[in-house]
Structure 1
Amino acid sequence: MSVVADTRLVILQSVQPLTTDVSTLARSLTVLTDGSPDQVARSDVPAPAHVVRRPRDEWRQYLTELDRDTAVTTNDEYLLAECARLRHHLSLRAVTPTPIAHYLDKVSMKSQLYAAGIRVPAWVPVDGPVSRGMPPPPSLEFPVVAKPRMGSNSRGVRVIDDAPQWQSWTADKAGQAGWQIEEHIDAAMFFVDAFVHDRTYTPVLVGRYLGPLLPSSTTHVLGAVSVDPHEEIWRRAVELGRRVADCLGTNGRFATHLEFFDTGDDLVALEVSARAPGAMVSEMARVVSGHNLETAHLAVQAGSPLPRFTDTGRHAAWISLLAARGQTLQDPPDSMRTTLTLHHLPPPRGTSAGRYIAALGLLVADDVDEVRLDVDRCTAHSWFH
């Protein structure tokens, strides 16, 4: 999809890279970053042709000096509030929900949802900075999950199994503020993606994660598989997603990604964002609905009409393959029935130890059972030597 031909589009980026090709979104497109210009897009997607690096305190002046018909948007979790402020300064229509804190601050988020009768994990905010040796919350039992109040992509999240690990965590984080401790839930994990457009919630994709998002030492494949719209969990997920959006705010134009647990007795809302999802989930959405969610999010906030999301009858899965430095990627499993597109990723900069996501894969087929079977094959496969 493309934006109005005369629009100059500026995409703000800082922490989270773009995960899709944005070159067709506008006649004139600039990515404005306060980070490294060669890191604004994930390595498997085309790099934007025009990237401008400025300290963030200079962004307002930079945008003010551009054409009046400039649109400003972002899909970076860490810039949603900044984007809203800049759009207000430029007298652009508000597209970010208000108050945005309900989508950014995980404690505020859970407080709002709990008050609305939506089940969330039990949580305890850490008042002030973490202190070495402070006791764990008495209302929670191990294991617990330590999380930053703000952030995404599991950055800084840690599962703490026992008292010695708790003591280690408090020593490591001593002096740092902005933390919360959360109940650990051991249950199947799902997500629902949708588009909110002027208080209307349009579901796009429901998916099931292959396992926990924090990999153990024995985990080699992360990912998710789409849920057939005829399954009961699809209906329940959409119902939960709509309730969550209504609670936190639908006064805007944005993609939304809700992660939740299915305990068997109830659905438990974990976290929700007011942006398109990462990894290859936006591409999964393109397969099942006809439109990439990240592209749609950026385009609609820049002025395009809401695209028509339709059930294509196709199904998709995404896999992330974990490897250690120096390992070599092997061929996919034999006899796969799906179409597999695999992207190699370089090791992250500045680190020399530990595993990293060395490849991303998208599996596509018309039969959801074929997708699930091939995901099982991929999970059991030895990908690296």
Structure 2
Amino acid sequence: MKIAVLHARQPLTTDLREVFPEAECVVVSCGEPAVREDVGGVPPTVIQADRGDWAAVLGGIKPDELVTNDEYSLADCAGLRDALGMAARLPAYPWKYLDKVTMKRELAAAGITVPRFVAFEPGVARSAAEVVARVGLPLVVKPRQEANSRGVRVLSTVAELSEWLAAHDGEEGWEAEEFVAGVGHHVNAVVRGKHVEPVQVGRYLGPLLNLPIGSMTVRYDSLHELNERVVATLGYAEMVVHTELIVRPDGEPVIVEVAGRAPGGEVPRMAERHAGLNLEAAHLRLQAGLPVGSPQRTGLDAAWIWRRPGGLPELASPHEVRRRDSVHSVVLWNADADQLAADAQVLAGGPS
């Protein structure tokens, strides 16, 4: 069996030989690196090709399956799978998961709470006064089709907004949305057709608007139920879904973004400790039509933390470290949730 993996910007965080032990894998990429530097094992074969040449390259490779976990390759993957006569396993309307404005419109129409927002449409001028009247201050500006907080800014004053509008005058692909105060969470699930299997809920250990420093699992069953409504609204597929939300101080959850792919950071490895399932591996195998086990509670809570390179403080929880030049990633786990939380706070540099 031969599997081709598409890549543009978000690198793989797992060893493809472990994900697909039964297959030969080749990565078709228009960006670097295709695999994160801390992934062990023998690097996969990578063919560098412009996105416009992917169809021709795949025609030469003749893969049995085509997969991706890259936000910037999902639409290409869906289209190329169709062109190659492969089964449709990605969402039927991928832009509901890729375009933040389309996403929020669909969710709001289904009665799911999202931030108030304004889309910057072609040929439609937006004044600072109009934007503030609709979403308030402070507000968040972000690209409609980006990931990992790229291009996101919090603007606190009319002057900052006016300056931003002037700098982006005439540009397409932006939106402004209400700044939602509260605690950031993520909800992860495995989706098989119309069946949504809960994997984990994580509470972020840093601000959701910037790259968070980590997260840890928490018990929050109502968020799993909400996530099922989210998937039903945006579309089923064979995939992992990653929903990001903020829980307001009054307990109301507000959906911020949804991805039809496995999450980044070390959330996939956190799920492996908590639910026995690596989310990136599961997502790739589901797209390829290969068996994926169901998530099972292991009795362990888990957390991950990004830290600057250097030594670790003393920790009571078992843990493992992946080292990159710029950052160390620590995954830790414990059956004692309180001890895990204390260790996570120590790693994050805050009080326990």
Q: Report what 1:48 is aligned to.
A: 43
SS of alignment partner, residue 195 of structure 1: strand
Matched ranges for 1:262-301 at <5 A? 262-263=247-248, 264-301=250-287
* Unaligned segments of structure 1, at least 5 residues: 1-6, 324-328, 348-357
Alpha-carbon distance in structure 2 between the residues aligned to 1:136 and 1:145: 15
Q: Which amino acid aligns with 1:91?
A: G
Correspondence for 2:333: 364
Counterpart for residue 156 of structure 1? 151
Instruction: Provide the residue aligned with 1:376 in structure 2.
Output: 345
Does the Cα contact within 8 Å between 1:332 and 1:378 map onto a contact in 2? Answer: yes
Alignment of 1:1-385 (within 5 A): 7-24=1-18, 25=20, 26-36=22-32, 39-46=33-40, 48-67=43-62, 70-128=64-122, 135=129, 137=131, 138-215=133-210, 222-227=213-218, 231=219, 234-250=220-236, 252-263=237-248, 264-321=250-307, 329-334=309-314, 336-347=315-326, 358-380=327-349
Aligned 8 A contact 1:129 1:174 in 2:
no
Pick closer, same or farther for the CA change 1:99–1:215 going to 2, 3 Å: closer
Go from structure 1 to structure 2 and tell me whether the alpha carbon gap of 1:77 and 1:338 turns closer, same or farther (over 3 Å shift): same
| Cα distance, 1:133 vs structure 2 | 7.7
Cα distance between partner residues in 2 of 1:374 and 1:80: 36
- Distance apart, 1:215 and its partner CA: 4.2
Task: Tell me, in whole angstroms, the C-alpha distance in 1 between the residues paired with 2:51 and 2:148.
Answer: 22
258-267 or 281-290, which moves further after superposition? 258-267
Residue aligned with 2:38, SS = coil
Report the CA distance between 1:366 and its aligned residue: 2.1
The CA distance in 1 between the partners of 2:6 and 2:123, in whole Å, is 30
Offset, 1:168: 3.0
Superposition deviation, residue 135 in structure 1: 4.7
| Secondary structure in structure 1 of the residue aligned to 2:17 | coil
Spell out, residue by residue over 1:254-304, the C-alpha distance to the aligned partner (whole angstroms, 9 max, x if none).
000001111124111111110000000000111111110100110121121
CA distance in structure 2 between the partners assigned to 1:279 and 1:367 by the alignment: 23
Q: TM-score, normalised by structure 1?
A: 0.85
Root mean square deviation, CA, Å: 2.1
SS in 2 for 1:297: helix
**Conserved in 2, the CA contact under 8 Å of 1:130 and 1:173?**
no
Distance apart, 1:172 and its partner CA: 3.4
Q: 2:297 & 2:45 partners in 1: Cα distance? A: 35
- State the 1:346 CA deviation: 2.5
4+ runs of 1 displaced by more than 6 Å?
A: 129-133
Q: 2:108 touches 2:114 (CA, 8 Å); kept in 1?
A: yes
TM-score w.r.t. structure 2 length?
A: 0.93
How far apart in 2 are the matches of 1:271 and 1:133? 25
1:90 Cα deviation after fit: 0.8
Cα shift readout 1:14-36 (whole Å, capped 9, x = no counterpart): 01111112123143110110113
Q: 1:143 to 1:381 in 2, by over 3 A?
A: closer
Look up the SS of the partner of 1:78 in the other structure. Answer: coil
1:59: how far off? 1.1
Q: Deviations over 1:308-328 (max 9, x none)?
A: 21111111101112x5xxxxx
Any idea what the Cα deviations from partners look like across 1:149-194, whole Å, max 9, x if unmatched? 1111111111111123223322433342110000001101111100
Identity %: 36
Count of aligned pairs: 346
Contact 2:27-2:46 within 8 A present in 1 as well: yes
Structure 2 segments unaligned to the other structure (5+ residues): none
Task: Supply the AA of the counterpart residue of 1:93.
Answer: A
More displaced stretch, 127-136 vs 202-211: 127-136
Match of 1:355 in 2: none
Amino acid at match of 1:13: H
Give the distance between the partners of 2:342 and 2:128, measured in 1 at CA.
Answer: 47
Deviation at 1:114, TM superposition (A): 0.6
| C-alpha separation in 2, matches of 1:151 and 1:330 | 31
